[in-house]
Amino acid sequence: MSNADYNDAELLICTASRLMTDGSTAFIGTGIPMLAASLAQRMHAPNLVAFFEFGGIGAVLEQLPMAVGEWRSFNKAVAATGITDLMETAQRGFVEYGFLGGAQIDAYGNLNTTTIGDHDRPKVRLPGSGGGNDVGSLCWQTIAILRHDRRRFVEKLDFLTTPGYLDGPGAREAAGLPAGTGPYRVVTNLALLGYHPMTRRMMLLATQPGVSVAQVIENTGFELEMAASIAENPAPSEEELDLLRNRVDREKLYI
């Protein structure tokens, strides 16, 4: 299958979906994480337990929620509770993965969803933390999903909304965040990235199909660590694309 056969959104969804393991628990936000979770449930992870922050636990994602609190977020779920229960469940260590997005990300996986420019007189006022800071603080491993360019992958955030590794090794624990937590992967339209185990800086693991390492570097506003060998991600399969287009998002809400 050639590159022209899928778009960036489909590529992001398929790449994120493959990271969701069967039987694990994941905090799911609006948009691409929902599509990825729904695809994962149909492909390889039927027992993926989706947590939606306003109370849905274990929904079967037959139809795509348009909002994190709407009825599809607890469709055929095991429980419909409330936000404190969900967040406290994560605070107790029950939730493995959390999915995050943002307007900016830095080398340590810190994210900005609050303001561009000065906080008190911003150039652009963004929505704010939402559940992002809680997911980034309390889930064991977080996966960020973003489009890849220099405007988003920056040396210094305008505002650190959600903690990644803060300013390096040991910083999360020193700040009081739960031990052993932190960013795990970054999924972009150009690459799959992780974090160097020693420096905690973002590390290129694999390029997306047809993308060169030079292109990734060119579109990143900070210096990347490089994995010992950099793979090329497999393109979305026909089965994935078929499920995505004809089952997951059959109303064409997102793709």
Partner 1 sequence: MNVLYSGKGALLQPPDMEAFRAWNRAKHGGMVSKLMDEHEAVSRFIKEGDYIGTELYGSVRGPMSITREIVRQRIANLRVIGQSVLELDLLLAAHQVRAMDITYTGLEVYGLSNVLRREVESGRVEQCVEWSNAGITWRLKAAAMGVPFLPTRSMLGSDTLEYSAAKVVEDPFGGGRVCLLPALILDVGIIHVHQSDEFGNARIEGISGFANELARASKRLIISAEEIVPNEVIREQPDRTIIPYFLTDAVVHAPFGSHPGEMCYRYRRDEPLIKEWVEASADEAATAAYLDRYIYQLPDHAAYQELVGRQRLADLWGPYAGGAG
Q: Looking at the annotation, which residues are catalytic?
A: 53
Q: How far is the CB of 232 from partner 1 (least distance, A)?
A: 31
Number of alpha carbons in the 13 Å side-chain half-sphere of residue 6: 26
Distance in Å, CB of 200 to partner 1, minimum? 13
Instruction: Tell me the longest C-alpha to C-alpha distance in the chain.
Output: 49
Footprint of partner 1 on residues 126-155 (CB under 8 A)?
A: 126-134, 137-138
Handedness of CA 138, 144, 150, 152 (dihedral sign): negative
Among candidate residues 11, 56, 57, 55, the one with its CA nearest the CA of residue 36: 11
Comparison of 80 and 213: residue with beta carbon closer to partner 1 = 80
Residue 173 CB, shortest distance to partner 1, in Å, is 7
Work out which of 84, 223, 238, 250 binds partner 1, going by CB under 8 A. 84
Q: List CB contacts of 58: < 8 A, sequence separation 6 or more.
A: 49, 50, 77, 78, 79
In this chain, which of 159, 203, 208, 249 binds partner 1, going by CB under 8 A? 159
* CA distances, 71 to each of 57, 78, 216, 253 (Å): 12, 13, 39, 17
Residue 13 vs 192, nearer CB to partner 1? 13
Q: Which of 8, 9, 24, 70 touches partner 1 (CB under 8 A)? A: 70
Residue 90 is classified by DSSP as H
| Stretch binding partner 1 (CB under 8 A), from 8-16, 35-43, 159-167, 228-236 | 159-167
Asked whether position 9 contacts partner 1 by CB under 8 A, the answer is no
